[in-house]
């Protein structure tokens, strides 16, 4: 690949901890801006902010711990911290809930973690225009508790709903479980205040106001400043679209004795054009097998069940009931067996903790062992979901033939748009982290690369919601984006001349000649 030679000074970023003198200089510079309890230096505070759900070889964890953590409470404080960091050439990593699955909030080059959790205020609730302006450290669940008093809700609903925060949703451009009806984070966030890597503050959104949903003035910067994984700055205050809190929810759960029927049914549900349809989830055969062998699974899985489909509708009672009748009819035509109200409602209610329940896997001999959950996701067209599923399971089967460190926990496919054009496909993997040594890690990274390659080969994207900045899939980013990747490098260099904002992510160091391939 070719890039231009660096034209600006590149800071000597290192993965070594900051020495005492440099740390003292940094703390002294921050003292006029932040109170003592907003600057955290203790080992536990720093290690806690280095923690993310995705696995990393435990014996190498200490390589990715920040030198210090700050807890700002306002846009002005965030801007001042970033300005100081830029002047001193210290890396800055934004962190909200720390639930991101692609290591975006991990301080690869140490430096300062900016934890925005104290910026969790509701600044303005506009009942007439139906918007709310919040600090980006608020979670969707906490926000909705407040909005419920007014009969409103903010429908960004990831599986991590209680613990991921609005700023992290912007940083990842996340995907919502009910996006087929309400859209995803990028559709629901109207505008936000954003601190650039130099410490300048801009307002991002359509139009100059906070609450405009569609403008044709100038470049549309909103998407640029979403999903960048903290590499282009920090969102501090966001204005969000609100909807009436749905009066009714219907979440039928159907069993199938054939995966192909379940796949066809999911597509038919999504394409039916039922206005209350908010999404459908397809559980494949491996997922059903996993639930069946799991001691803690709460859904009965008779042996003739080969696949499951969970659909969900939201709206007024009258429209949900009518739309539901149509979807039940479609499901029946595809051979569905309704699992009953109790299981249906229970499964949908479990959507926010479904992942956390069975944190154990199996050795090849069937022995139960502690494992942690990891998943790889991709955006794939409906027609390609079965082929991608087959190829992904084969990659994991190969990995499993080599070692017991991994287990195949099956796949979900989730509808994304209201027309059913593309699906978030996700393969869940159990990883025995205590056994994750360098050799197993290398095998895992190769498997991730292979998984991403399958998505691209099928005309998909490597990630529908988590992002692709981890070792393995990130290697394929230039391939997926083509010339667009060079544009990314140009944008990064223009907005972050000193590479202070979350360095080491998305191969963006190449913009500064910091990549070995570029130097050679
Ligand atoms: C159990 C579980 C289920 C999940 N389910 C889903 C799901 O259904 N859909 C989905 O999309 N994701 C899901 N995720 C992934 C994760 O929850 C999302 O990516 C979420 O958007 C991350 O939010 P966060 O607040 O935890 O951000 P963090 O993990 O703190 O940060 C994520 C990225 O955004 C950057 N960032 C953080 N704050 C800001 C800010 N204020 N401004 C700019 N950049 C910032 C960080 O540097 C990082 O790169 C799941 C994760 C878990 C653990």
218-239 pLDDT, tens digit per residue, is 999 999 999 999 999 999 999 9
Q: Which helix (H) or strand (E) holds 451?
A: helix 438-457
pLDDT at 300: 65
6-33: average pLDDT: 78
Answer yes or no: is pLDDT of 10 > 50: no
pLDDT at 298: 61
pLDDT at 187: 96
Q: What are phi and psi of 408, to 5 degrees?
A: -90, 115
pLDDT at 60: 82
Percentage of the residues of the chain whose pLDDT score is greater than 70: 94
Answer yes or no: is pLDDT of 9 > 50: no
Q: How far apart are CA 150 and CA 125, in angstroms?
A: 10
Ligand 1 centroid to Cα of residue 99, in Å, is 5
Mutate to test the pocket of ligand 1, among 172, 177, 191, 469 (most ligand atoms within 8 A of CB): 172
Per-residue pLDDT band at 296 (split at 50, 70, 90): low
What is the 3 state secondary structure string of 141-202? HHHHHHHHCCCEECCCCCCCCCCCEHHHHHHHCCCCCCHHHHCCHHHHEEEEEEECCCCCEE
pLDDT in tens, 443-465: 999 999 999 999 999 999 999 99
Instruction: Spell out the residues 6+ positions from residue 325 whose beta carbon is closer than 8 angstroms to its own.
Output: none
pLDDT at 297: 61
pLDDT at 8: 32
Ligand 1 centroid to Cα of residue 162, in Å, is 12
Task: Report the mean per-residue pLDDT for the chain.
Answer: 92
pLDDT at 470: 93
Q: Where are the beta strands (DSSP E) in 183-332?
A: 189-195, 201-205, 234-241, 243-244, 248-250, 253-256, 277-283, 307-315
Q: Which of 479, 494, 416, 510 is nearest to 219 (CA)?
A: 494
pLDDT in tens, 276-292: 999 999 999 999 988 88
Per-residue pLDDT band at 293 (split at 50, 70, 90): confident
Q: Whose Cα sits closest to atom 50 in ligand 1? A: 160
**Cα-Cα-Cα-Cα dihedral sign, residues 379, 382, 383, 389:** positive
Q: How far apart are CA 29 and CA 67, in angstroms?
A: 15
pLDDT at 291: 84
Answer yes or no: is pLDDT of 366 > 70: yes
Q: 308-317, 343-352, 501-510 — which is least confidently predicted?
A: 343-352
Per-residue pLDDT band at 81 (split at 50, 70, 90): very high
pLDDT at 199: 98
Q: Which of 190, 155, 141 is nearest to 170 (CA)?
A: 190
pLDDT in tens, 82-108: 999 999 999 999 999 999 999 999 999
Answer yes or no: is pLDDT of 294 > 90: no
Higher-pLDDT residue of 80 and 4 is 80
Ligand 1 centroid to Cα of residue 98, in Å, is 6
- Binding pocket residue ranges, ligand 1, CB within 6 Å: 53, 93-101, 104-105, 116, 136, 158-160, 164-165, 167-172, 174-175, 177, 229-230, 234-235, 355, 465-466, 502
Ligand 1 centroid to Cα of residue 467, in Å, is 9
Ligand 1 centroid to Cα of residue 258, in Å, is 34
Kindly list the distances between the CA atom of residue 92 and the CA atoms of 31, 168, 236, 247, in Å, as whole numbers in the listed order: 17, 15, 15, 43
Mutate to test the pocket of ligand 1, among 66, 70, 81, 99 (most ligand atoms within 8 A of CB): 99
């Amino acid at each position: 690949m070719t890039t231009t030679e660096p034209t600006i000074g590149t800071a000597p970023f290192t993965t070594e901890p900051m020495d005492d003198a440099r740390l003292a200089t940094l703390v002294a510079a921050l003292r006029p801006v932040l109170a003592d309890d907003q600057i955290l230096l203790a080992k536990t505070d720093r290690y806690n902010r280095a923690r993310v759900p995705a696995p990393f070889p435990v014996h190498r964890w200490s390589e990715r711990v920040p030198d210090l953590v700050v807890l700002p409470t306002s846009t002005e404080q965030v801007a001042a911290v970033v300005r100081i960091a830029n002047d001193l050439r210290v890396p800055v990593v934004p962190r909200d809930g720390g639930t991101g699955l692609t290591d975006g909030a991990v301080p690869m080059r140490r430096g300062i973690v900016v934890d925005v959790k104290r910026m969790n205020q509701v600044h303005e609730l506009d009942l007439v225009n139906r918007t709310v302006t919040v600090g980006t450290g608020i979670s969707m669940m906490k926000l909705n508790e407040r909005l419920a008093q007014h009969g409103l809700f903010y429908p960004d609903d990831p599986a991590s709903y209680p613990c991921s925060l609005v700023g992290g949703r912007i940083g990842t451009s996340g995907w919502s479980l009910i996006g087929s009806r309400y859209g995803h984070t990028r559709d629901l966030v109207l505008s936000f205040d954003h601190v650039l890597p130099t410490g300048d503050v801009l307002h991002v959104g359509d139009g100059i106001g906070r609450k405009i949903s569609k403008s044709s003035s100038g470049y549309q910067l909103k998407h640029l400043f979403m999903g960048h994984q903290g590499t282009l700055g920090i969102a501090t205050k966001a204005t969000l679209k609100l909807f009436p809190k749905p009066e009714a929810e219907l979440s039928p759960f159907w069993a199938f004795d054939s995966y192909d029927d379940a796949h066809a049914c999911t597509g038919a549900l999504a394409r039916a054009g039922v206005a209350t349809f908010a999404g459908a989830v397809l559980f494949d055969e491996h997922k059903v097998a996993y639930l069946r062998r799991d001691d803690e699974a709460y859904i009965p899985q008779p042996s003739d069940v080969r696949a499951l489909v969970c659909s969900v509708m939201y709206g007024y009672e009258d429209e949900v009931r009518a739309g539901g009748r149509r979807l039940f009819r479609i499901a029946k035509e595809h051979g569905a067996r309704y699992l009953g109200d109790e299981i249906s409602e229970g499964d949908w209610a479990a959507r926010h903790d479904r992942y956390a329940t069975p944190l154990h896997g199996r050795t090849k001999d069937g022995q139960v062992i502690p494992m942690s959950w990891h998943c790889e996701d991709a955006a794939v067209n409906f027609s390609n979901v079965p082929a991608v599923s087959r190829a992904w399971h084969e990659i994991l089967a190969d990995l499993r033939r080599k070692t017991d460190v991994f287990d195949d926990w099956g796949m979900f496919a989730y509808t994304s748009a209201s027309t059913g054009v593309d699906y978030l496909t996700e393969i869940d993997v159990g990883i025995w982290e205590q056994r994750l040594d360098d050799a197993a890690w290398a095998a895992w990274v190769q498997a991730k690369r292979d998984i991403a390659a399958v998505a691209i080969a099928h005309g998909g994207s490597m990630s529908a919601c988590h992002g692709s900045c981890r070792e393995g899939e990130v290697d394929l980013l230039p391939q997926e984006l083509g010339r667009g990747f060079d544009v990314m490098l140009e944008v990064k260099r223009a907005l972050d001349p000193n590479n202070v904002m979350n360095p080491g992510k998305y191969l963006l160091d190449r913009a500064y000649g910091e990549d070995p391939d570029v130097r050679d």
